[in-house]
Amino acid sequence: MGRIRRASAHDVSGVYRVCLLTGAAGGDATDDHANPDLLGHAYAGAYLAGEPEFALVAVDEHGVGGYAVGAPDTRAFETWMEQHWWPVLREQYPLTPEMESADTPDARLIRRFHRPPAAADELLARFPAHLHINLLERSRGGGMGRALIEALTGALRRHGCAGVHLGVAPENENAIGFYRRLGFETLASRPDELVLGMRFE
Ligand SMILES: CC(C)(COP(=O)(O)OP(=O)(O)OC[C@H]1O[C@@H](n2cnc3c(N)ncnc32)[C@H](O)[C@@H]1OP(=O)(O)O)[C@@H](O)C(=O)NCCC(=O)NCCS
């Protein structure tokens, strides 16, 4: 089944690969993106750089099979990203008029680099941490998802967090079933995103 350890610089390419191969509501997003790095920049890389204590990888003899990453204080992480993560990407991928109007997955991600959404205060009051988890097909269905979530929520709990939230595409029924089985409850339901959460006390 592989083993879980903290992510390091060795894992950046593997984590980005997993992010792309699971980026279409759990399925392969490779064909949706001309630039294969953008999804990883948006949803994975910043955790390895900015929250290394809460960046876990599942590794086996084939490489990185999956990851769970998170931030104990979502607002503080947003501030860190403003200072350290987005500036490089904003310079590399400027918001040109073409980029403002293009209706492609890559353009939507680049607009997100420039205007990242901020989590709501009411959500963070009870669920200040957030996380992402993604496993390649070869690493699913054998308990690795549960093991990663338990390792990450354990670390968040020990850090003193009161609760964690996450966003999932409403069509990703597999992940929603998994989260519910692990005890996550629904906090908000929007057409484009279901927000789930778990309290630690
Ligand atoms: C969602 C995901 C992380 C689950 O990981 P996994 O390794 O397959 O899950 P596990 O084998 O650890 O399952 C843990 C528990 O959840 C249950 N479970 C898993 N999927 C389930 C489902 N769709 N419905 C109900 N229960 C489910 C398992 O039966 C198991 O129960 P148990 O531990 O009480 O016996 C994995 O399928 C994945 O990475 N999918 C693609 C990426 C993705 O969608 N990520 C989420 C984006 S928000």
The CATH number of the domain covering residues in 3-162: 3.40.630.30
Contact 119, 75 (CB under 8 A): yes
Overall average pLDDT of the 160-172 stretch: 97
Q: What pLDDT is stored for residue 44 in this prediction? A: 98
Q: 169, exposed or middle or buried, with CB in 10 Å at 0-12, 13-18, 19+?
A: middle
Instruction: Pull the structure tokens for residue 24.
Output: 């279409």
Phi and psi angles of residue 71, each rounded to the nearest 5 degrees, phi first: -135, 130
Q: What pLDDT is stored for residue 80 in this prediction? A: 98
Overall average pLDDT of the 116-127 stretch: 98
> Residues enclosing ligand 1, CB less than 6 A?
22, 26, 66, 133-135, 140-146, 168, 172, 174-175, 177-178, 181
Q: Residue 56 — very low, low, confident or very high, per pLDDT cuts 50/70/90?
A: very high
Q: Is the pLDDT of residue 1 over 80?
A: no
Q: From ligand 1's centre to the CA of 178, what distance in Å?
A: 4
- Which residue is closest in CA terms to ligand 1's atom 23? 174
Q: What pLDDT is stored for residue 79 in this prediction? A: 98
Q: From ligand 1's centre to the CA of 145, what distance in Å?
A: 6
Our measurement of the distance from residue 129's CA atom to the centroid of its chain's CA atoms, rounded to an integer in Å, reads 12
Choose which residue among 17, 22, 28, 178 to substitute to test ligand 1 binding: the one with the highest number of ligand atoms within 8 A of its C-beta: 178
* Residue 44 to residue 38: CA distance in whole angstroms: 10
Overall average pLDDT of the 31-45 stretch: 98
Amino acid at 146: R
The pTM of the full predicted model, rounded to 2 decimals, is 0.98
Count of other CB atoms within 10 angstroms of residue 69? 27
Q: From ligand 1's centre to the CA of 131, what distance in Å?
A: 15
Domain boundaries, the chain: 3-162
Count of other CB atoms within 10 angstroms of residue 96? 11
> Which is more confidently placed, 2 or 20?
20
Q: From ligand 1's centre to the CA of 174, what distance in Å?
A: 7
pLDDT in tens, 57-90: 999 999 999 999 999 999 999 999 999 999 999 9
Q: Is the pLDDT of residue 115 over 80?
A: yes
CA angle 144–147–150, rounded 5-degree value: 150
- Which residue is closest in CA terms to ligand 1's atom 31? 181
Count of other CB atoms within 10 angstroms of residue 131? 22
Q: Residue 201 — very low, low, confident or very high, per pLDDT cuts 50/70/90?
A: confident
Count of other CB atoms within 10 angstroms of residue 192? 8
Percent of the chain with pLDDT over 90: 99
